[in-house]
Chains A and B, each alone.
Chain A
């Protein structure tokens, strides 16, 4: 589906958990208003497999919907406000 919200891209490739989770949470906190207002989505690029479990788990508890897409050499985790 076409979306009009801005993508905030966070590239944490090369980092492992818990650092990538903490950095993602920090980004979710600092962009809370835009994300909750559906003006932006957070797209996290990670090559750490564990992050595809920890980030969605934490983000879901905070009220975000999550999708994980596997790219050629990394994962793309998209977090947006749960409708």
Chain B
């Protein structure tokens, strides 16, 4: 062999050695990725290595790994979408809150009930977004769960004028450390309203029966007291001294007041059966407003009555007149002590599906939020003793319910109060 040939053979051997070293290095790298030991030169000589083709084997295996990864990702996406659908469509609010009380995630129901539109909730403090506060409440269940690592159940929590039942459960990391809270809350506002109505209805029934019974029993003796006292006053030969006559006049006056209260109780217990007919509600309103015109004038109250259409309702006109009278008197009384500004009572009628809606509103001082739920309770009054029996609104509520309608009040401190009642319409609206 020539020297040139020898040089070429040496170069080729060197090149082969470099290539084999490269293959071993790459194979070892791939094997370490697969989690196994590097190749052992004594066990796998060069020719066996080339014959076995480990790079080819591992390449094909990676193809299967990738296929499996793709399939796993697809399944995870499907599972995630399903879970997200459940998360969003379940009828309760769900929030995940971290240890700093920031919202990590929340479902659609949560957003619908407690997050204002266009507000980004994720990453914000839950007490800010859900409760409208600068710091957590002292009795916040999420705070308790974060502190104790235990679930907390709260029967009722008020957030942004809604009532919720809440369960908080801890979120733990692999070491068991509490890293957050899952808060599940159910809106019980409607349930609470129904319970309140049922409670009120039961109370009304019981009090109505009692009041009706007592009123009947008291009516006769009170009638006798009033009758005999009036007779004595009219008897010119009784020889009453002026101071006795004065005292008798007080007896008559007080007996009459007692009579008014008894009439109120009898109305409240509604022992008279309503007599239904088709009546134009606007006529009843105009008549009642006219009746009170002197009161409005003497107290400088402006009336704003807008009754654009004729609405016919199925109602007992005498009872509905009583309702409107009570509500207007209530508004007039709301202005007691109000001076130096315009006082207005407005009355509106309108159609609300199958009902006719009557709204009586005043711009008086308003009813405090804490007593608003009680105003339709019998004997509930804010007036001084002797000034009112607390039956007016209760009578209104009873009459409207008997007419298969509904009544509610809204009020804002300093801005006024609005009473709205609905009565079944007797026919379509006409101009």
Contacts and interface: CB of A to CB of B under 8 A. Distances in A.
Interface of A: 16-19, 21-22, 25-26, 28-29, 32, 50, 53-54, 57-58, 61-63, 82
Contacts of A22: 52, 54, 57-58
B379 to A, nearest CB: 71
A62 B61 contact: yes
Nearest to B48: A19
B43 A25 contact: no
Contact of B44 (A19, A21, A53, A61): A19
A25 B67 contact: no
B64 A54 contact: no
B38 interface: yes
A25 B54 CA distance: 9
Interface of B: 31, 34-40, 43-44, 52, 54, 57-58, 60-61, 64-65, 67-68, 71-72
A63 B43 contact: no
Given A21-B34, A50-B37, A54-B35, A62 B64 contact: yes
A44 to B, nearest CB: 14
Contacts of B72: 63
A55 to B, nearest CB: 9
Given A61-B68, A62-B68, A63-B67, A17 B61 contact: no
Contacts of A28: 61, 64
Given A21-B34, A25-B58, A29-B57, A63 B39 contact: no
A61 to B, nearest CB: 5
A54 B67 contact: no
A54 B36 CA distance: 6
Which label, helix, strand, loop or mixed, suits the secondary structure of the A interface? helix
Given A19-B52, A25-B60, A62-B68, 9 more contacts: A16-B40, A25-B34, A25-B57, A26-B57, A50-B37, A53-B35, A58-B61, A61-B65, A63-B68
3 smallest beta-carbon distances between A and B, as pairs: A63-B68, A54-B36, A62-B64
B32 to A, nearest CB: 10
By CB atoms of chain B within 10 A, which of A22, A29, A62, A63 has the most? A22
A10 B31 CA distance: 20
Contacts of A54: 34-37
B108 to A, nearest CB: 34
B37 A18 contact: yes
Interface centre among A16, A53, A63 (most CB of B within 10 A): A63
Contacts of B65: 61-63
B71 A63 contact: yes
A26 B211 CA distance: 95
B53 to A, nearest CB: 8
**Which of A25, A53, A57 counts the most B-chain CB atoms under 10 A from its CB?**
A25
Contacts of B60: 25, 29
Contacts of B58: 22, 25
A54 B34 CA distance: 8
Contacts of B35: 53-54, 57-58
Contacts of A63: 64-65, 67-68, 71-72
Nearest to A57: B35
A58 B44 contact: no
A39 to B, nearest CB: 16
B44 A25 contact: no
27 contacts: A16-B40, A16-B43, A17-B36, A18-B38, A19-B52, A21-B36, A22-B57, A25-B60, A25-B61, A26-B52, A26-B57, A28-B64, A29-B57, A29-B61, A32-B64, A50-B37, A54-B34, A54-B37, A58-B34, A61-B65, A61-B68, A62-B64, A62-B68, A63-B67, A63-B68, A63-B71, A63-B72
